[in-house]
């Protein structure tokens, strides 16, 4: 599994706290040179057990095709070329519309077989408030182009839990997403983190966070509509048509090793975590060993985010039996074969359930 962080954006969303830069002359080439150098240094770390590639950001669709090609060729030279079980590229709808079919067809030729579109909303007022570059019409056109280019595995991202998002607008957003009939939909509750525009608005009183009641209600609306449309709720924030669950992200939740390339990218070896500095030029890698307790907590936390749940033997070996039995009596845990999972109607409070087990 390889993750490539592409740290470029034309503008910054109000809520975003990821490392990114507005590209200036020479930045794409500098970034590409640094990543290719990192690939050569870290080639032996790259695990081939899951042959997935994921380009996230930032805005990967800003990266010129020539630079992406150079990075992929370097991976191939180091023994990590295609074909890929899954190769996802995150894209901004505006970039897709601007670059058109030739760009999308080139991506397919490079091995990209899954597109993830950051739609976030189909409401133009909200998109403007988020400082997104596209509007609703652009999102629809981008999706049409992706289909025309022949992509048959498409994911779209949506955001809920905004204090200025009404239930009616949220329902309309979900309905529009379902009408497009993507294979996968990711829906994230807005959180205010780090030093971004939204955090400053919150501090100054310009923005007030949505209440837990509002967030829970919007999550319940989401779950009901996605189930009615035939999507499998396989992870707290993710819904897929049968057979289209994200392979790469599934590897994260099952703690498969992965290598993160590029500034601010994180890696996982199984027994340690690494992260790169959040700088474009000359970034270094820091390593932190995981304790046995760290591994236990991560295994529980990640597995219980999913509908697959956790192996019963592991659960009873690492958690108090009385806590497990109490949560089962409360309906917060259910047994499915040899595994235990948090049922969908308790997904919204999964963090609390996991804390009680830990």
Q: In tens digits, what is the pLDDT along the chain, a chain of 358 residues?
A: 999 999 999 888 888 788 889 999 999 999 999 999 999 999 988 876 678 999 999 999 999 999 999 999 999 999 888 889 999 999 999 999 999 999 999 999 999 999 999 999 999 999 998 888 889 999 999 999 999 999 999 999 999 999 999 999 999 999 999 999 999 999 999 887 777 888 888 888 888 888 999 999 999 999 999 999 999 999 999 999 999 999 999 999 999 999 999 999 999 998 899 999 999 999 999 999 999 999 999 999 999 999 999 999 999 999 999 999 999 999 999 999 999 999 999 999 999 999 999 8
Comparing C-alpha atoms, which of 94, 86, 100, 101 is closest to residue 127?
94
| Positive or negative torsion for Cα 290, 20, 116, 169 | positive
- Give helix 167-180 / helix 136-148 axis angle, nearest 10°: 20
Q: Pinpoint the residues of the chain covered by CATH 3.20.20.70.
A: 2-253
Specify the residue for token string 């949505």: 210
| In contact, 156 and 180? CB cutoff 8 Å | yes
- Give helix 27-42 / helix 65-77 axis angle, nearest 10°: 10
CA atoms within 13 A on the CB side of 280: 16
* pLDDT for 342: 97
- Give helix 65-77 / helix 93-109 axis angle, nearest 10°: 40
- Give helix 93-109 / helix 136-148 axis angle, nearest 10°: 10
* pLDDT for 200: 83
* pLDDT for 197: 82
What string of DSSP letters covers 47-101?
Answer: --SS-EEEEEES-GGGS-HHHHHHHHHHHHHTT--S--SEEEEEE-HHHHHHHHH
The fourth-level CATH superfamily of domain 2-253 is Aldolase class I (3.20.20.70)
**Cβ within 8 Å of residue 138, ≥6 positions away:** 93, 94, 97
Class for the domain spanning 292-358: mainly alpha
The distance of Cα 220 from the centroid of its chain, to the nearest Å, equals 21
| In contact, 275 and 292? CB cutoff 8 Å | no
Q: Pinpoint the residues of the chain covered by CATH 1.10.10.
A: 292-358
């Amino acid at each position: 599994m390889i993750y490539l962080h592409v740290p470029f954006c034309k503008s910054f969303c109000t809520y975003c706290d990821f490392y990114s830069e507005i590209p200036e002359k020479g930045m794409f080439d500098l970034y590409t040179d640094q990543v290719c150098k990192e690939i050569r240094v870290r080639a032996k770390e790259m695990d081939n057990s899951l042959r997935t590639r994921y380009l996230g950001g930032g805005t990967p669709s800003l990266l010129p095709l020539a630079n992406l090609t150079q990075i992929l060729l370097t991976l191939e030279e180091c023994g990590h070329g295609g074909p890929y079980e899954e190769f996802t590229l995150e894209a901004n709808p505006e970039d897709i519309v601007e670059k058109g079919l030739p760009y999308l067809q080139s991506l397919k030729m490079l091995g990209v077989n899954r597109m993830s579109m950051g739609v976030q909303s189909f409401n133009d007022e909200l998109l403007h408030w988020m400082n997104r570059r596209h509007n609703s019409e652009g999102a629809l056109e981008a999706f049409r182009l992706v289909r025309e280019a022949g992509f048959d595995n498409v994911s779209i991202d949506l955001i809920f839990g905004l204090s200025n998002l009404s239930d009616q607008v949220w329902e309309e957003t979900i309905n529009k997403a379902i009408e497009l009939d993507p294979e996968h939909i990711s829906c994230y509750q807005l959180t205010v983190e780090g030093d971004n525009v939204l955090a400053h608005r919150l501090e100054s009183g310009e923005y007030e966070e949505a209440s837990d009641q509002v967030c829970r209600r919007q999550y319940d609306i989401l779950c009901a509509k996605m189930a009615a449309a035939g999507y499998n709720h396989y992870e707290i924030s993710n819904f897929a048509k049968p057979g289209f669950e994200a392979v790469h992200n599934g590897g994260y939740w099952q703690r498969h090793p992965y290598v993160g390339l590029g500034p601010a990218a994180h890696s996982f070896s199984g027994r340690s975590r690494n992260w790169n500095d959040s700088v474009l030029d000359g970034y270094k890698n820091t390593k932190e060993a995981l304790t046995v307790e760290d591994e236990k907590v991560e295994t529980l936390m990640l597995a219980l985010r999913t509908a697959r749940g956790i192996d019963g033997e592991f659960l009873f070996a690492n958690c108090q039996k009385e806590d497990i039995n109490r949560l089962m009596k409360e309906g917060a845990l259910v047994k499915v074969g040899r595994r235990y999972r948090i049922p969908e109607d308790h997904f919204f409070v999964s963090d609390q359930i996991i804390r009680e087990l830990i």
